[in-house]
Structure 1
Amino acid sequence: MHRIFCIPELVRLIVSYAACEEEHNTFDGAPHFSHEDSQRLLAGLARTSTIFTDAALDFLWGNIGYGPDVLFLVLRLLPQNCARLLLDNEGNVVSLVVDRPLVQSDWTRILWYSKRVKTYEHDSYWSASVHLRPLCLLFSTLPATFLFPNLLELSWCFQGEDDMQLSSRFLSPSLQDVWFSGDTRGVLWASTALAAQNHNLVGFSATCANGTSVEPDAFGAFLGSWKHIRSLRLPACTAKELRQLSSLAALTSLVLDTFVGPSKFLDGNRDARFVALKYLTLGQISLSTAADILPTTDKSPLEGVRLVGLTLPTTNTLVDLITGIIHSRTLNTLHIQVKGDSDFIAPVHSLTCIRHETLTSLCLCVDGGYLFDDVDFADWLPLVPMLQELVLAQMVPQSRLTLDALVSLAEKSPRLSSFGATLRVPHFPTLRPSSVRQARPQQETLSTLRVGLTDPTHLHEMAAFLSGLFPGLTTIDHGFVDTSPPGRQWKEVERWLDVIRRCRKEEQEWTLLLKTEGGRNTRLG
């Protein structure tokens, strides 16, 4: 044996080339294998030589995937005389039958492989009582504390007490990313149990079933101990918990589904809060609380802000809030959805306060008032030159944008690829193909359009109009409001767009052919 094979890092590098599936290839010059070919190569390496066995098995089991398949494969390693998996004709597990309690020697083979598993997702497939109770009985004899001691990623949907008992065998201290969902009691129990033995989490997400509430400060006992956490999602948050979060130096992404507490809660230097935060999503929150959380300095690394279910006392406060957010020079995404029962009734005559050189995605959804008229819209577009996605969703009666807004887009937003808005079309029947054929600016990058219209007629002319403005348009949807044309009518627009594109392509091909043939004839003559 060459001494090069005594270096574990080189052995793993050799094996990693066999694990390079086409969609996960990270090595320059590495071959591209399908998933099946990669699995066969790794299995062959594991059998070929003891030099490659450990490394090949690590890749095989480490990338085995999510879902019930992982546990299914592990349970198949059980001795035949102690437990049986009953399968249906399609190979699905119908029941798990435990014939006798397992002893330590029965687990030897399982633990040899299970220590290599890196990801596991426990979903409703294994949450049925026909599976859970036998599994709990089975794992009660496990000689180790955890079934997967080197697990890195865990996703668990809780549905009852059996889930809580079983999950304790999967809360390994090695975990880096965790997603808990479902029954509130199970989510809180598992979160507390995990925090007691794991202070090195990088990502944590907890969501609870619809209609359930979370006790105040349910996560406050352990949030401060996760010093390395970078991504965090909580179903609810209080002022006390938010104070702990604001001091986490590694936190770059924060999602709070709801906020419970007073609007003023943070004291001290605002610039010292959330120093690394790049992405922030706040749900069901008042404007004053949102303003208190958001950084106000242009040195903030904030790149994306999403405010969902925002309540506003007055219209002007929305402008004030946005003005504060866009101080961040690195901001590229801003999504704001104003709650339906908000007192947002006075018109916003202009949101030209949104001017930003790096903003690429803007979404504003309001139930009352209006965001722009055509003149404001045309004047505003040059202030956001990098926009690639723009959504302005509002009720039709309040909308002041017309088809002229689309012309402004074609003229002034060369990078936009997706646009959604509610448009008023008070004089759409006056649109004629002759006006469509007039010289119009063409915007090549727009591929997706979502619009709500007040008049669903003259769809053929609409298709020609859109095709003339946006030659790259491939997807069109019927907007945000009930008064929009039904989907089947927009399918008609899509069909006509298709016809127009094909005709245009054939015309270009014929023009090129005639030019070529004409050139040849000229030379021959």
Structure 2
Amino acid sequence: MVQSSVDSGIFDKILENLAHDAPDLNSAASQYNKRTLAQLAICSKAFLEPALDHLWRRLDSLFPLLKLLQGFKSSDGIYVLRGIVTPDNWSRFDWYARRVKTFCHTGNPLGQAVAKHVYFRVSQLHSTPLLPSLQHLQFRHSTQDDFLTLGVCLFLSPSLQSIEFDGIKSDKLCGTFFDALICESAPLQSVTLRGQGLSKDTLDLVIRFQDILSLEIDGSFIDIDWLKRAGALPSLLHLNLNFNDSSISALDFDLGFRNVKELIITGPLPLVDSLLMHISTTHLEYFDCRVPAGVAKPAYEGLTYRIVTRWRETLRHFSIALISQGYPRDEFPATALLALGSLDHLRSVQVVNYVTSCLTDKIIVELASGWPEITELLLPDSPPGFSLPTVTSLQALAERCPHLTHLRTPFNDLAPELPPPSYGGPKHGLKTLTNARFIKPGDISDYLRLGRHIDRLFPGLKVVNKREAGHWGLDYVKWKELHDALSLCQTIRRETREEYESVGGV
């Protein structure tokens, strides 16, 4: 078989799936996919280049490339570089290195320790950029030595588009890195900097990249002057700022950021609200804020009112999370939720670590009516002593929110029998259901009844969780019984359908 006999789009998709490192992909599956790509590369000359491009496009360590050098060998358990590296050897090295597009530094694997002089020697012998096609560079929780031996010496490339440095403790070399990229006229589009050692000098260098599209800054040197200059960046679309250690308490000037579509802010709610008052963008699509506890209900009402007033026609995602997960938790008032109900185009609503009293079936039905495009809805918990929504709310969400795939809501699972569904469309696509509060059923019949209700409303459900942890937690036995009841309903339905199909039924 040759590539010409295979649709190029399908072939590219196969290679893309094999090369994709999804977060939920385990190590064994990832290694299997890489072996498959390697086998594709050698089975046909037509497959060689595209398969190798996908196999080598991402590296977590330089070790696989260094192994290509003849003088790279182990000495007393540490790899060193000895002898002469011939031009042919460098040509082989470069043949693979030019394929690397993403480097995410996680350190060398166990048993593959590399002497630091190797990196200096390589940078001395290899005068051109080591990874000439490198576009994305990530250093997470890196030490100063990592920046000295790797970041500055080896990854300066004029092709760099995105940089992520995390855990910065002292950023003088980080600043040198950005200054060198400015000299190289690198087309930098995305910068993420996190760490207590981040300095004003480095922040000033970052905003000299006028074509930057995405900016994430977590450090104490965000000040008024820097905000004004960052707000003038003409192409910025994604902005993520952490003000927890900043001296800024309020803003009273036009911030700029006129083209920002995604806004993520961490800091005190009054500062977040002040920023929303003075930001210039008129087409915000994504809003996410993380705030400390201790905020009164009217402040949350004011926040949602401001968002609804300014971005009613554009906002697609709203998320607010309480940074402190302790008790007592702030209350996110039901009136604030109802205000969000007027945002017709919302596809994701997340209210995390909050409580909301008086969250009733009536309120959830009203919200469901206003969010026909919603795909993810994470509602707050209800505090003890308040009545809870029932499965009536689940039915309203099933009927009015056909695209919902992830739902978290408190509900009383001891609700009465439900009437038949009023809709006759395709089965609902909800995959994950999380109950923010669990009311203990009386006996096994209650679990079976609840499981039957849920199965009827959401026949494609895969996961039933307690809170966001992805497991049943302290209520393991209760949630296990509910999960078993739901699985029983799904099994009966599947076996019944198979039986009908086997005898020629529908």
| Range of TM-score over shorter length | 0.7 to 0.9
User: Paired residue for 2:490?
Assistant: 501
User: Paired residue for 2:22?
Assistant: none
Contact 1:229/1:251 (<8 A) preserved: yes
Contact 1:344/1:369 (<8 A) preserved: no
Looking at structure 2, the residues matched to 512 and 159 of structure 1 have their Cα atoms a distance apart, in angstroms, of: 58
Looking at structure 2, the residues matched to 238 and 185 of structure 1 have their Cα atoms a distance apart, in angstroms, of: 19
Looking at structure 2, the residues matched to 65 and 204 of structure 1 have their Cα atoms a distance apart, in angstroms, of: 20
Matches within 5 A, 1:78-227: 78-79=69-70, 82-85=71-74, 95-100=78-83, 107=90, 109-111=92-94, 113-125=96-108, 130-144=113-127, 146-157=129-140, 159-167=142-150, 168=152, 169-185=154-170, 189-198=173-182, 199-208=186-195, 213-215=196-198, 217=200, 219-227=202-210
Looking at structure 2, the residues matched to 204 and 161 of structure 1 have their Cα atoms a distance apart, in angstroms, of: 19
Mapped pair 1:277 → 2:260: yes
Output the amino acid matched with 1:117: V
Identity, in percent, stands at 20
Contact 2:357/2:383 (<8 A) preserved: no
Alpha-carbon distance, 1:359 to partner: 0.4
Alpha-carbon distance, 1:490 to partner: 1.8
SS of the residue 2:452 aligns to: helix
Contact 2:215/2:240 (<8 A) preserved: yes
Matches within 5 A, 1:450-469: 450-457=434-441, 458-469=446-457
User: Paired residue for 1:265?
Assistant: 251
* Per-residue CA distance 1:82-140 (angstroms, 9 max, x = gap): 331479xxxxxx63133347688975653465345333232122699941424234325
Looking at structure 1, the residues matched to 468 and 92 of structure 2 have their Cα atoms a distance apart, in angstroms, of: 56
SS of the residue 2:300 aligns to: helix
Distance 1:480 1:83, change over 3 A: closer
SS of the residue 1:503 aligns to: helix
Looking at structure 2, the residues matched to 156 and 132 of structure 1 have their Cα atoms a distance apart, in angstroms, of: 19
User: Paired residue for 2:37?
Assistant: 35
Match of 1:365 among 345, 352, 359: 352
TM-score (norm 2): 0.77
Unaligned stretches of 5+ residues in structure 1: 1-13, 26-32, 47-55, 88-93, 518-525
Alpha-carbon distance, 1:37 to partner: 5.1
Mapped pair 1:60 → 2:81: no
Match of 1:20 among 12, 18, 33: 12
Contact 1:396/1:423 (<8 A) preserved: no
Contact 2:261/2:281 (<8 A) preserved: no
Contact 1:219/1:241 (<8 A) preserved: no
Which piece of structure 1 moves more, 333-342 or 508-517? 508-517
Alpha-carbon distance, 1:474 to partner: 2.4
Contact 2:365/2:396 (<8 A) preserved: yes
Matches within 5 A, 1:241-260: 241-259=226-244, 260=246
TM-score (norm 1): 0.75
* Per-residue CA distance 1:244-274 (angstroms, 9 max, x = gap): 2211111111222444132333524x6xx22
Distance 1:315 1:516, change over 3 A: closer
User: Paired residue for 1:240?
Assistant: 225
Looking at structure 2, the residues matched to 119 and 515 of structure 1 have their Cα atoms a distance apart, in angstroms, of: 53
User: Paired residue for 1:319?
Assistant: 301
Matches within 5 A, 1:433-448: 435=417, 438-441=419-422, 444-448=428-432
Mapped pair 1:72 → 2:63: yes
SS of the residue 2:207 aligns to: helix
Matches within 5 A, 1:324-473: 324-326=306-308, 327-328=310-311, 329-340=313-324, 348-350=333-335, 351-354=337-340, 355-370=342-357, 372-394=359-381, 396-397=383-384, 400-403=387-390, 404-424=392-412, 428=414, 435=417, 438-441=419-422, 444-457=428-441, 458-473=446-461
Which piece of structure 1 moves more, 228-237 or 287-296? 287-296
Unaligned stretches of 5+ residues in structure 2: 1-5, 18-34
Alpha-carbon distance, 1:220 to partner: 2.6
Contact 1:449/1:476 (<8 A) preserved: yes
* Per-residue CA distance 1:381-423 (angstroms, 9 max, x = gap): 2122222211112354276432143233234333322210233
Looking at structure 2, the residues matched to 468 and 19 of structure 1 have their Cα atoms a distance apart, in angstroms, of: 40
Contact 1:347/1:371 (<8 A) preserved: no
Alpha-carbon distance, 1:298 to partner: 10
Contact 2:382/2:388 (<8 A) preserved: no
Distance 1:352 1:119, change over 3 A: closer
Contact 2:406/2:432 (<8 A) preserved: yes
Distance 1:453 1:74, change over 3 A: closer
Looking at structure 2, the residues matched to 331 and 501 of structure 1 have their Cα atoms a distance apart, in angstroms, of: 37
Output the amino acid matched with 1:60: L
Alpha-carbon distance, 1:488 to partner: 4.3
Looking at structure 1, the residues matched to 491 and 322 of structure 2 have their Cα atoms a distance apart, in angstroms, of: 41
SS of the residue 1:125 aligns to: coil
Alpha-carbon distance, 1:323 to partner: 1.9
Alpha-carbon distance, 1:324 to partner: 1.7
Mapped pair 1:293 → 2:275: yes
Alpha-carbon distance, 1:292 to partner: 2.9
* Per-residue CA distance 1:292-339 (angstroms, 9 max, x = gap): 333679972211111123556421121111122233212111011134
Alpha-carbon distance, 1:487 to partner: 3.2
SS of the residue 1:498 aligns to: helix
Distance 1:192 1:389, change over 3 A: same
Contact 1:252/1:277 (<8 A) preserved: yes
SS of the residue 1:393 aligns to: coil
